């Protein structure tokens, strides 16, 4: 059996975890709850609240079988982004450290690191990339 891209990059332990949960929104993230804030109302925090209400309204109207997280597809897409981003990201070259952050954060939300951190070779590759971004 050949390894998936995710298994090659994260190792078997990282790739297995996302397949163990259900794919409905609540089993992945629990009931929809607003993001905690620091209590300072800003234009950004007000927009965040508005978006959360909008998403909550939308999710509450969907039948459970429609609010479906395609966990494996998200996982594979994110892992692929650790090695190579699609061509449409070329104009975002200066944003690559942020894109890396959001990819790793999304993988964490999907449970990719529950059984352990990145393999040393991948952690070294990522830290090497970030070091090159500083020069």
Tell whether the torsion through CA atoms of 51, 56, 61 and 62 is positive or negative: positive
Asked if residues 24 and 67 have their Cβ atoms less than 8 Å apart, the reply is yes
Residue 21 has pLDDT above 60, yes or no: no
**C-alpha dist (Å) from residue 95 to 41, 70, 100, 101:** 27, 26, 9, 10
* Token couple for 131: 């070091």
**C-alpha dist (Å) from residue 132 to 111, 112, 129:** 28, 26, 5
Q: Which of 32, 22, 48 is nearest to 110 (CA)?
A: 22
Q: Look at residue 90 and give its three-state secondary structure.
A: helix
Asked if residues 68 and 24 have their Cβ atoms less than 8 Å apart, the reply is yes
Q: Please write the tens of the pLDDT for every residue from 38-96.
A: 888 899 889 988 988 888 888 778 777 777 778 889 988 988 888 888 888 888 888 88
Residue 33 has pLDDT above 70, yes or no: no
Q: Which pLDDT score, from 0 to 100, does residue 42 have?
A: 92
- Residue 80's contacts (CB-CB under 8 Å, 6 or more residues apart) are 5
Give the predicted TM-score (pTM) of the model.
Answer: 0.59
């Amino acid at each position: 059996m050949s390894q998936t891209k995710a298994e090659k990059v994260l190792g078997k332990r990282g790739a297995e975890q996302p397949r163990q949960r259900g794919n409905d929104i609540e089993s992945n993230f629990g009931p929809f709850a607003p993001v905690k804030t620091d209590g300072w109302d800003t234009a950004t925090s007000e927009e965040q609240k508005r978006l959360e209400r909008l998403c909550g309204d939308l999710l509450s109207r969907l039948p459970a079988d429609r609010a479906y997280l395609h966990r494996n597809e998200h996982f594979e897409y994110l892992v692929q982004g650790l090695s190579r981003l699609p061509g449409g990201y070329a104009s975002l070259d200066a944003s690559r450290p942020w894109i890396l952050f959001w990819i790793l954060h999304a993988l964490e939300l999907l449970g990719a690191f529950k059984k352990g951190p990145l393999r040393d070779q991948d952690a070294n590759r990522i830290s090497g990339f970030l070091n090159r971004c500083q020069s």
